[in-house]
Amino acid sequence: MDNQFLQLMNSGPVGALVVGVVLLIGFLLRHTRWFSGGSSGSGVAASEFSALSSQVREMDQRLGVVEQDLRHLPTREELHEVEVNIARLMERMSGLEQITTSTNRAVGRIEDFMIDASQKQKGQ
């Protein structure tokens, strides 16, 4: 906003005229209390101010709760790290599954060999 104001001021007499007119209109509206919502002269009524104040307080409390919850949530980097670790664990589990399968087959062959050997020994 300040940048636009400076551009208007540096644009010569037309910019200065625009700024002057805007300031004059703002002064007149404020002086006639056009923004106050009535002719009472007090601006925003006390009851309206109290209601707005309580709403702002309530929203501030709710925002505090949300901020507290957000502090406990993981960041994007932390979630990425968890995803990478899970992928690594899945690879390890896949490797362990292959090792377990081959070990089960080897144990099965040893059992078969021992059963055959014991049956041959009984048969003699």
Per-residue pLDDT tens digits for 39-54: 454 555 778 778 888 8
This prediction's pTM: 0.41
Q: Is the pLDDT of residue 11 over 70?
A: no
Q: Which residues 6+ apart lie within 8 Å of 82 measured at CB?
A: 74
Per-residue model confidence (pLDDT) at position 114: 94
